[in-house]
Each structure stands twice: as C-alpha cells, then as structure tokens.
C-alpha cells in the first residue's frame, strides 16, 4: 500500500517535471540548430547567437527593458514601502479597509484592463497638459510602477506585521527620535523585504508584455514586445538563441539566491548551536 | 477594608524609604485608559518611592501591561496624570522620559551585536566613545556577560538574552526601570535562579523597578510591594506578607495562594474575638477591628495553616472539626489533602512531609478519619 503510493507519487513527479521542462530543453536545443527553419534539424551550430549579437534592435530592446525595470523597481519599492508603512503603522484611520483593498486590487485586475485604462489616462493627460508628448520609456515605466508598487506594499506589509512594534518601541525607549528609529531600526529590519520587493518589481517589469504593449509608442520596443512581434511572423532561430540567453541569466540568478539562502540557513544553525553552548 | 495588619507601624528593616515627607518618585493620579468602549485601566492611583521593587500582578487582560506602557509613554492615558520625579509626563514622548523598559520578548535588535545593542541608548544621549565603552564594560560585568560582547542576539541562550535586555535598559541609568514579564520566557529552574539575580542587581544599582507579572510566586519573591490588579483596578496594594496573610477580600485570598472560604454570620463579639457561625460550625476569629453582631462576613483559611492529625488534639481548641480523607495529592515535600467534613464540604489542607515514611506508605491515607484544627489568629476575615 505504502509502496504503491510512493510509486504513484514518483511517476507524478516525473510527469510534472517533464511537462515543465521538456519545452524549455527543446527550445535550448533548437537554439543551436544550424537550419533557418526551426522545426528542421540542420546540425549543431552557434550561428544564431552570432546573428543575435549583430542585431542592434535586440540590444536596444534589452537595454530599454533593463532601464525600465530598474527605474520601476526603485520607485515601486519606495512608494510601496511608504504605502505598507501607512497601512501597518498608522493604526486605524478612516477608510483604512477601503484603502487596503484598493492597494491590492491591481494584483487581481486583468492586465488588459490595467493597460487599457492607463492608455486612456495617458491620452487624456496629453490632451489636457500636452504631456507625455510621446509614449515610450516614461509611460511604460509609470504603468509598471502603478502595479508593481501594489506587490511591494503587500510584501512590506507582511514583513512589518511579522516584525511587530517591539523593536521600534525599544529604540524609542532608549532615546532614539522617530527619524533615528526609522533609519537605524525600521529600514535595516525591513531590508530583506525591500530587497525581495525590488527584485519582484524588477522581474514583473521585465516580464510584462500586455501592459507595455498598450502604453508603448512607435520605436519603443521592450524585450517581450520585440520577441512577441517577431514570433508573430513565424518561429525564428535567433529568437530561440535570445530565449536561451535569458534562461541562462535567470538560472544564474536563481542559483545565487539559493546559495545565499543556504548560507543563511547554515548561519542560523550555527547561531543556534552557539546559543546552546554552556557558558564559560 | 476589614482586615488591617495588627501592627500599624510596619518597620521594614531593609525596605526602601517610604517617608511621607519625601515626594514619591512615581505618582499615578486618576489614570484612565480606554480603547474604544473597553476600559483597560480604570481610575488608578499609585505612589511608588525611590528604590522600590514594585510588582503589578494580575491575570491577562487586567490592565497591568497597559499601565506599564503608559509609564513608558507608548500609550497616552485617556485621562489622569503620570508624574515621574516631580515632572508631569503628559506631553513627554518615550524618547525623552527618564524611564527604560525591558520588554517581554526582550526586543533585542537582531542586526546588532550585544555591544551595539547596549551602546544604542548611550549613543542617543551623545556620550563620548570612551565613556560608552567604559559603561558597557561595567554593565556587562554586572550581568556577567563580558565575553559575549561581539555575539548577536541569535547566538545567545534565553537566559543570556534576558541579561542583555536588562543591561541595555539599565545602562542608561533610568530613574524608573519598567520590566514586562522579565522572567516569563525562561524555564522554571532558570527563572528561580534569575529572580534572585534580578533582586541582587536591583540592590546594587539602586534603580526603582516596576515589574509586570502574572506569576504570583515571582511577585512574592521579587517585590517590596505588590499591587494586585483586576479589571483595570487595583484590588489591594501591600507588601507580599500583607497581601498573603491579610488579604482584604475573597478575590485576593483566592488569587494569591489558595484559601478555603466560608460564608458566615457574626454571632458574638468580644474585645478581640468574634464568634462566627458558618456552614461547618461555629468558630472563633481573632480580629482587631469593629464588626457588629449579626453582620455577614467571609472567612478565609489557608490550607497550610490547618493542622491535621489522626488523634484528637491535646489542647481542646474552639476551631476544631472532624473529617474523612477524600483525596491526597503527594507533592514530595508537602502533601495536599482533601478533607470531607460531615456537611459534605471539602476542605484543602496542606501538610509538610517532615518524616520519611518507613514502609513507603504515609501515616495518613485515604478514608482515614482525621481531626482538623487551627488557631483563631489564622482565620482571615474578608469583606466581600
């Protein structure tokens, strides 16, 4: 009975992982295909990586995407943290529940709606104030900040709730004025939350196709927009190469995160061991 | 107030000064704290003098922690005044108060070493580097943690963390040290040991301590005075002996230690004795206050103040009755007996096990007929 169940589980595990990773592995293999036609195998080659490196529009898109992602992540982290602080630390204020609900609404809002509403917003802004004159970097960044900050706010809220007021009260009790408490206690304690919030906002921005396509203008292609528009004209081997590079990039990041996490756990274990040692 | 300690001049040999002419260090005046409709602290008045180790004792939700937080400045009273060292604290924020607090879970800064945790408060006051390091050395010597300067809180045991928290709060030499369940997170053995350490440290530094606790044993051992709180009010304030031996009412008698409580009616009064009719018979109670004949009273009797024997007591006392052993709780050093009286009422009696039994069974056992008796001075007259 027990043996059967574990056999069933291992089969399910295998099926699950196959389902997840076979397409990705296929993509990587085909990026090394010499043939110009994706489904036709023409032998191993790095030809398409060369092609990729020589296409300036790809590099423009990568650069634009990174620029948007960094600016977005930074602003979203600042604004999201402030929103999170307001929600958790200001106690009860009028309309707190409503505000809290509205803060997380972008998480469940269909992207198409968000994108459309932002486009309408930018167009009306232009009619009223003559700004933004053209859509592109600025409009995409603003659009990304609006939904990323909701994610950051949720992370910060959770972290703040978990922390409790105790440490901040202790600092105030020891004579630290509110600004000192903020810089010496709250922000260092929030650091892991800030980092994960920043990374999440960064990833969300890099990932986004739908909202960016709504609010972008001529000539401003982010990486997802570029990939999607090229694929529409049929599968292309150089895009496979580009995708493979992105996968590699993500894999390295995940590996780094895993190592950091592992070290942290090891340190915690050592700390606990140290705490149990008898006093000398 | 029915019961007053017999000797009005309570001379305390080593107790702190409580001279009437000296202004109390802490004065709490008609303090009320409401959270919405809930009154957490209800019109409380209290004076605490310099050098006292004062305990606020009560169950959870009695308002003791709220009161402590108002002293620290984390909560503002809804009305009333808190005066520390002659200064009204109403508009003084926590970071400017001459108080420091030791938090229940210690609230050590996890991103700072022991040394940094302790120096944090001193840095806010702008002490020089050498002064700070001298003070850290002194305080770490006091709490015996000199070798642990560089460790982070996570690398310390519970007892060590507790001492770091104490050091961090004491190093600023506050006028008033507030301790929220200081020993609550420690296991029993360590707690007993730490109680005495805490008393020694308080004795050495001479800082006034206000301790919040729900543990009556802790309050009894630590404090010079205890205020028992219930539903936002002080029920009784007094020394541990006063609270235990002269409880004012049934709540205190039952909350601190345990007591057999009987309802009764005064049937005779004399100069210093009352004769009281209760459900288990008529008894003598020694007293030193006026109670009129016919009035309705309660008497409390501590289980350890009742004598238990198989033979009739030699001296025929007035407070004596017969019963049957219904149950025995053997605790090693003492045994707790449930004695069923004729009326069916069960009386708790505690007796020390002073003799080691020869044949592994004790002298008094289940279903034995026993005599119980007690001194007229042992009964406590309670007012409600």
B120 contacts on A by Cβ (under 8 Å): 171, 174, 176, 184
User: Phi and psi at residue A168, in whole multiples of 5°?
Assistant: -70, -40
Query: How many contacts, defined by CB atoms under 8 Å, are there between A and B?
Result: 72
Of the candidates B101, B109, B152, the beta carbon closest to that of A173 is on: B101
Written as six digits, the tokens of B7 are 């000797």
Structural domains of chain A, with CATH: 58-237 (1.10.3720.10)
Block residue for tokens 């407070």: B319
Pairing, β B79-84 against β B26-35: antiparallel
Q: Name the band, by pLDDT with cuts 50, 70 and 90, for residue B282.
A: confident
Cβ distance of B95 and A268 shorter than 8 Å: no
Cβ distance of B94 and A185 shorter than 8 Å: no
pLDDT above 90: residue B119: yes
Q: Name the band, by pLDDT with cuts 50, 70 and 90, for residue B52.
A: very high
Indicate if the alpha-carbon torsion angle B225, B229, B232, B234 is positive or negative.
Answer: negative
In the DSSP assignment, the letter for residue B334 is E
- Per-residue pLDDT, B320: 87
Written as six digits, the tokens of B33 are 């704290």
Alpha-carbon separation of residue B273 from A176, A189, A262, B270 (angstroms): 60, 66, 76, 5
- Per-residue pLDDT, A133: 84
A20 at B interface, C-beta within 8 A: no
Residues B81, B30: Cα–Cα separation, whole Å:
7
Cβ distance of B94 and A276 shorter than 8 Å: no
* Domain residue extents for chain B: 26-253, 258-382
CB B382 within 8 Å of CB B2: yes
* Pick from B252, B243, B225, B181: nearest CA to B47: B225
Written as six digits, the tokens of B219 are 């309050």
Of the candidates A167, A175, A268, the beta carbon closest to that of B124 is on: A175
The pLDDT tens digits for B188-213 are 888 888 888 889 889 888 899 999 99
The pLDDT > 70 percentage for chain A reads: 98
Residues A248, A258: Cα–Cα separation, whole Å:
15
Candidate from A102-111, B33-42, B210-219 with smallest mean pLDDT: A102-111
- Per-residue pLDDT, A235: 81
Written as six digits, the tokens of B217 are 């044993």
pTM of the model: 0.82
A108 at B interface, C-beta within 8 A: no
Cβ distance of B154 and A280 shorter than 8 Å: no
Cβ distance of A175 and B125 shorter than 8 Å: yes
A279 contacts on B by Cβ (under 8 Å): 160
Of the candidates B100, B108, B151, the beta carbon closest to that of A173 is on: B100
pLDDT above 60: residue A47: yes
CB A115 within 8 Å of CB A143: yes
User: Phi and psi at residue B230, in whole multiples of 5°?
Assistant: -150, 130
* Pick from A230, A67, A197, A123: nearest CA to A115: A123
Q: Name the band, by pLDDT with cuts 50, 70 and 90, for residue A2.
A: low
Residues B270, B152: Cα–Cα separation, whole Å:
68
Cβ distance of B124 and A180 shorter than 8 Å: yes
Written as six digits, the tokens of A277 are 């040692």
Written as six digits, the tokens of B274 are 């009352």
* Choices 3.40.50.720, 2.40.50.140, 3.30.2040.10, 3.90.1580.10: CATH for B258-382: 2.40.50.140
Instruction: Check for a shared fold between B26-253 and B258-382.
Output: no
Written as six digits, the tokens of B277 are 């009719």
Of the candidates B108, B121, B160, the beta carbon closest to that of A175 is on: B121
Q: Taking all residues of chain B, what is their mean pLDDT, rounded to a whole number?
A: 89
CA torsion, ordered B294, B300, B303, B307, to nearest 10 deg? -30
Q: Name the band, by pLDDT with cuts 50, 70 and 90, for residue B11.
A: very low
- Per-residue pLDDT, A279: 66
Query: What b/e sequence results for B88-101 when a residue is b if at least 16 CB atoms lie within 10 Å of its CB, and e otherwise?
Result: ebeeeebbebebbb
Q: Which residues are bridge partners to B341 per DSSP?
A: B323
Alpha-helical (H) ranges within chain B are 64-72, 114-124, 129-142, 158-170, 188-205, 216-222, 240-245, 250-255
Query: What b/e sequence results for A4-32 when a residue is b if at least 16 CB atoms lie within 10 Å of its CB, and e otherwise?
Result: eeeeeeeeeeeeeeeeeeeeeeebeebbb
A166 at B interface, C-beta within 8 A: yes
Residue A280: cis peptide before it, omega within 30 degrees of 0: no
Q: Name the band, by pLDDT with cuts 50, 70 and 90, for residue A66.
A: very high
Span B26-253 CATH architecture? 3-Layer(aba) Sandwich (3.40)
Cβ distance of B124 and A176 shorter than 8 Å: yes
ipTM of the modeled complex: 0.83
In A, residues 177-196, which contact B (CB 8 Å cutoff)? 177, 180, 184-185, 188-189
* Pick from A270, A189, A176, A268: nearest CA to B110: A189
The pLDDT > 90 percentage for chain B reads: 62
CA torsion, ordered B17, B19, B25, B30, to nearest 10 deg? 130
């Amino acid at each position: 009975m027990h043996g059967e169940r574990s056999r069933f589980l291992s089969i399910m595990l295998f099926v699950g992982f196959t389902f997840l990773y076979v397409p990705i592995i296929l993509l990587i293999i085909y990026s090394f295909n010499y043939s110009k036609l994706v489904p036709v195998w023409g032998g191993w080659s790095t030809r398409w990586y060369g092609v990729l490196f020589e296409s300036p529009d790809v590099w423009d898109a990568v650069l634009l995407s990174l620029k948007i992602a960094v600016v977005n992540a930074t602003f979203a982290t600042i604004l999201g943290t402030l929103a999170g602080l307001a929600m958790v630390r200001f106690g009860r204020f009028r309309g707190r529940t409503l505000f809290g609900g509205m803060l997380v609404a972008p998480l469940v809002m269909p992207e198409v709606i968000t994108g459309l509403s932002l486009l309408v917003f930018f167009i009306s802004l232009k009619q009223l104030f003559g700004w933004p004159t053209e859509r592109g970097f600025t409009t995409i960044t603003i659009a990304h900040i609006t939904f990323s900050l909701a994610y950051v706010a949720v992370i910060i809220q959770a972290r703040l709730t978990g922390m409790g007021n105790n440490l901040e009260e202790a600092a105030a009790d020891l004579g630290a004025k509110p600004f000192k408490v903020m810089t010496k206690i709250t922000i260092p304690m929030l650091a892991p939350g800030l980092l994960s919030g920043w990374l999440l906002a960064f990833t969300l921005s890099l990932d986004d196709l739908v909202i960016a396509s709504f609010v972008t203008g001529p000539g401003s292609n982010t990486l997802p927009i570029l990939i999607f528009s090229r694929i529409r004209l049929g599968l292309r081997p150089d895009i496979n190469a580009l995708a493979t590079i992105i996968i590699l990039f993500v894999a390295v990041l995940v590996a780094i995160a895993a190592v950091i996490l592992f070290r942290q756990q090891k340190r915690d274990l050592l700390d606990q061991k140290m705490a149990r040692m008898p006093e000398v | 107030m029915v019961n007053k300690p017999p000797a009005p001049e309570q001379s305390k040999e080593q107790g702190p000064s409580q001279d009437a002419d000296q202004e109390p260090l802490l004065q709490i005046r008609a303090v009320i704290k409401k959270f919405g409709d809930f009154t957490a602290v209800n019109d409380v008045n209290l004076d605490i003098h310099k050098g006292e180790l004062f305990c606020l004792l009560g169950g959870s939700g009695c308002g003791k922690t709220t009161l402590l937080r108002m002293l620290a400045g984390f909560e503002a009273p809804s009305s009333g005044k808190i005066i520390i060292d002659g200064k009204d604290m109403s508009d003084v924020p926590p970071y400017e108060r001459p108080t420091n607090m030791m938090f229940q879970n210690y609230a050590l800064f996890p991103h700072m070493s022991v040394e940094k945790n302790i120096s944090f408060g001193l840095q806010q006051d702008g002490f020089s580097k050498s002064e700070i390091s001298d003070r850290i050395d002194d305080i770490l010597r006091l709490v015996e943690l000199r070798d642990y300067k560089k460790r982070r809180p996570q690398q310390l045991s519970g007892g060590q963390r507790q001492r770091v928290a104490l050091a961090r709060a004491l190093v600023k030499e506050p006028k008033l040290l507030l301790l929220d369940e200081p020993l609550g997170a420690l296991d029993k053995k360590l707690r007993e040991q730490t109680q005495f350490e805490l008393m020694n440290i308080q004795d050495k530094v001479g800082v006034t301590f206000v301790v919040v606790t729900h543990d009556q044993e802790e309050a009894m051992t630590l404090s010079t005075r205890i205020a028992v709180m219930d539903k936002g009010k002080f029920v009784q304030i007094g020394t541990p002996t006063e609270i235990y031996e002269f409880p004012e009412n049934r709540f205190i008698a039952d909350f601190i230690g345990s007591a057999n409580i009987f309802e009764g009616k005064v049937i005779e009064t004399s100069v210093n004795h009352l004769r009281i009719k209760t459900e288990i018979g008529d008894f003598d109670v020694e007293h030193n206050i006026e109670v009129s004949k016919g009035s309705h009273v309660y008497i409390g009797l501590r289980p350890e103040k009742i004598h238990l024997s198989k033979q009739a007591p030699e001296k025929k006392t007035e407070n004596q009755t017969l019963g049957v052993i219904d149950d025995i709780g053997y605790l090693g050093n003492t045994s707790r007996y449930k004695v069923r009286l004729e009326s069916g009422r069960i009386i708790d009696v505690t007796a020390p096990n002073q003799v080691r039994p020869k044949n592994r069974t004790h002298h008094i056992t289940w279903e034995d007929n026993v005599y119980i008796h007690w001194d007229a001075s042992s009964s406590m007259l309670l007012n409600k």
